[in-house]
Structures are given as structure tokens and as C-alpha cells.
Amino acid sequence: MIMRRRRFVLAVFVALLGFCISVGLSACGNQPRQAASDQSRGKGPVLDQIPVLSSAHPCAATAASTTAPGSDGSPATGPAGGPGGASFSCATLTLPLDHAGLHPGPKLAEQVSLQVAMADNADAPRGVLVFLTGGPGQPGVPFATLVASQLLDPAVVRDYRLVLIDQRGTGGGALQCPQLQQAMGSSDLTVPPAGAVAACAQAIGERRQFFTTADTVADLDELRRALGVDKLSFDGVSYGTFVAERYAVTHPDRVSRLVLDSIVSHDNLDPLELAGITRTADVLRMVCKENGCTTDPAQDLSEVVRARHDGPELYDTLTSLSVGKPRLTDIPAALHDAARGDDTALHTIVAAERLNQSAEADELSQGLHASTLCEDLHGPWGDAATPVAGRAAASRAAVAGLSDATVFPYDRAAAAANGIAVTCEQWPATPVAPFPAGQDLPAVPALLLVGDHDLSTPLLWAQQEAARAPQGHLVVIPGSGHSTQSSDNGPMGRAAVTAFLTSP
């Protein structure tokens, strides 16, 4: 559903360079000041404490060595410095686990410590650019050098102060759910084994309600205050677009520009995955045409699903193969053979991709993934507070009313029994504050990017978000999969971002 497979996509790099670094940490002490956030809301003078970026130090070179976001999993290594002499300092942002006003019930006094990487050009002329990685569940700090050296143009790195953050529940503070982690790895469509979801929710306990996107938005605004800036620009990928959009809707006066790459629409989260399911036929037929095949891979897929009854698994596999540079070239032939009784090639592809999805919690936390998704989305059953009993039946009833064309080339099980739907049907009822639906993005410049071969965040989602962006410009990248700024997908995405961020 929202946050996407081989989810080393990109997405929560956040704006956090340092006011504290540029003027000295002593100047960022807990001194009362009139909070700009309260003034801007018309609440009058309020004394508040400025959050502090503490324990600042040069980021270790090893922080740059990890799986590349949005790629096929190959390691990305490099020095701590980026192009044009870009270097980063790392610090800790300590915040309340329970932000005031976000959650019902008694307020908890617990805190969370979030790691932040901040470029050292604190006087960058265009201000702070927060790069938001994906998931939910992926950290940001380990990708600082990769983003600065491979995803963003040197002109962007020079003009903006680049900031990335390990959002709550990720990285070194990842929520740990061993059984769910082993089963799902970096996927959000793999169907979890019996008992894994309940075990995960029990392991996290009542704290699970404090890992929604609204909590991350509140963290980001505290980061903005710690940096001492009035506005942030965002470059978000996959789930990072969702975070950026919801920040912009919540704080419309605190955003300068938005880059939304591989887009999750901010109030249209569908656990039935219907947009991706229906997009599959178009993508497979494009791949077939590009490679000169004469079969109809969409029809072949429909026949295979009807014979094998494995729609959820095949949807998971094909979606994962569209992340980064699409790896779908061999699929039409494998589907054609399987439709005629020989599924050897198809079985090999599915098994290989399952291995490719392996990931530890500090790379992509499935505990955080479930906590955030299942408390953000509305399913056919209602919101996260709906009792578990009856959720699965509500999904089945919703899918039963769909036409065959709506779920083609899959079957109804691919919608009702995909990994997101199954996980969130089992997630314990949790009271959450609803996000107000029906709001447009603020009238700030926005660049929306989507790959036409992306099944993870399909074209329809980008079109829906573009319709809600008063100053939005949608660019569809031919041949690209998920995460269009990745070099695997060619230069067009990166060039579009460079032109947009460096324009007057």
C-alpha cells in the first residue's frame, strides 16, 4: 500500500543541519523563547523551549556504507565527504515520545533520541533541504553521503543545507519484531505468517500508538526549530513523499519547495492496492513491446493466477521488480511458459526476489512499518480504532463487490489478502487522531516525479496528488521504476530535480 518494496527506496532525510553547529551548541541551550510556531497560529506570545541538537560530531565514514536506497540492494560505499567538499556533522535530537495534543489518554513522559546528519554549509543561500527516505521503516542518516554524491547535483548540494534524520523507530532505535522482520524483510506486500503480526504488536506494546506519520511530522517541525529556520524544503521519495505532503498540509506556512519522487497520495491510502493491481497490465505490456515479444503478458498473468491461486505472491514479486531500475524484462516469457504449464522460470524469479528482499530491522524496521501503516490508513473496516474482529470480513465484502476488470490481471485475493491488508487487519485496535481529509497541498512550488514502469507507487497516485497541488508540475519518466532520482533509472529524474531546486 503506501511505502514501498525493496524499500530501500529513499525517504526520510530531514532538514537538520545546524543552527547549533553554526553558532555553537551553547547558543542552543534550553532557554525560553517565544515560539514562532505558536505565533504563526495566532496563539499570541508563548514561552517555549528550543529543542537542542546535542553531541555534535563529524559523521563517521562508515555511515555512508549501506544498501543503496531505491536500488537492487547493491552496497553503496564512499567517503564521508560529498561533491564540492560536502561534509556532514551528526547530532542527536531528543524529543517527547508523546507530543502534546496528538494522542488521546494520559500523557507519557518518555523521550526518543533521533539521529540527524547535517551538511556543514550552514550558510547555504537557499536554506535547509530535508531529504526524506522511505518505508516507513528506513533510516536517513546512513544515506547522507550517497544522497549528496549520487542523487543530488553538486549545484543543489552547494545551494542547500542537506539534512537527513533517522525517524522515530528506525536505524539504531528500530522497533524490533524478529518474526515479522524475517518473514517480510524489505517488502510490504509479503503475506506475514500466522501469529507474526500479533507477536510484533505485543513486543512493541502500548508505545505503538506513537509511531504514526503525524508523530514524524511533529518531530520534523521540532527539527526545524532546532535548526533555527522558518521554512524547510523537502525532497521525499516513496513514503518520504507522504511525510513531506502531510507536513506541508499541517504547516503550510513553513514549506518553501517540495520534490515528490515516487508519490504516495497524502489522503488516499488503499490497503487493497487497487491502483497498483490495475497498473500491472499496462506496465507488463509496455515491457513486452519494448523487448519485441508478441505475447500478452497481462492475459498470461491472469491465467497463471487463476491456475496457481498465488495472486498476492506474484503481485509482491512484480512490484518488487519495479523498484529502482525495473527488472521485468524476463517476466513476459516466464508468464507465457507458466500459462502453458511450465512454471520453472517463474518459480526461479519469485524465489530469487524473495531472497533479495531480506533486510534487518536497522535497514528497514517492519515493526515501525506496521505501526505506522496500520495506524495511518483507513481500510474497508474503518480506521485503526476499529475492533480487529470483522476487519477481514469487511475486506472480503469490499472486494466481492468489485468487477473482474478492476482486479485484472490478478484475482480478488491479490486485493483482499496482500501483505498490507493482512497485516493491518490483525493489528490491534489503537486510538489515533484522524488526519483531516480533503485538503490540498499549499500553494508552494512542487515537482512531482513518477516512473512509468513503477508498480510500487503507481501513476494514478501521482496524478491524484498532482490534482491537489496548486503549483505542482508532474513529470512522468519513461522507462523508470521506483525512485526516479536514482542513477539506475537514468538522468531525467535527477535533471528535473536540479532544474527545479536551482530555479529562481
Place of cell 511530522: 217
Query: Above 90 in pLDDT, residue 73?
Result: no
What pLDDT is recorded for position 101?
85
Q: Contact 501/129 with Cβ under 8 angstroms?
A: yes
Residue type, 27: A
What pLDDT is recorded for position 408?
98
What pLDDT is recorded for position 61?
58
Average pLDDT of span 398-412: 96
- pLDDT tens for 365-387 read 999 999 999 999 999 999 999 99
Give 88's contacts (C-beta < 8 A, 6+ positions apart).
Answer: 58, 59, 80, 82, 117, 118, 119, 120, 144, 145, 148, 162
What pLDDT is recorded for position 332?
98
Query: Above 80 in pLDDT, residue 76?
Result: no
What are φ and ψ of residue 115, in 5° steps?
-85, 140
What pLDDT is recorded for position 178?
97
Q: How confident is the model at residue 432 (pLDDT cuts 50, 70, 90)?
A: confident
Give 43's contacts (C-beta < 8 A, 6+ positions apart).
Answer: none
What pLDDT is recorded for position 54?
95
The domain covering 19-173+200-269+440-502 belongs, at the CATH homologous superfamily level, to: Alpha/Beta hydrolase fold, catalytic domain (3.40.50.1820)
Query: Above 60 in pLDDT, residue 444?
Result: yes
Rounded Cα distance between 362 and 310, Å, is: 30
Q: For residues 203, 204, 205 and 207, what is the CA-based torsion angle, rounded to 10 degrees? A: 170
Q: For 455-478, what is the HEC assignment? A: CCCCHHHHHHHHCCCCCEEEEEEC
What pLDDT is recorded for position 38?
37
What pLDDT is recorded for position 77?
33
Report the share of the chain in percent with pLDDT over 70.
86
Q: How confident is the model at residue 34 (pLDDT cuts 50, 70, 90)?
A: very low
What pLDDT is recorded for position 105?
77
Q: How confident is the model at residue 43 (pLDDT cuts 50, 70, 90)?
A: very low
Q: How confident is the model at residue 151 (pLDDT cuts 50, 70, 90)?
A: very high
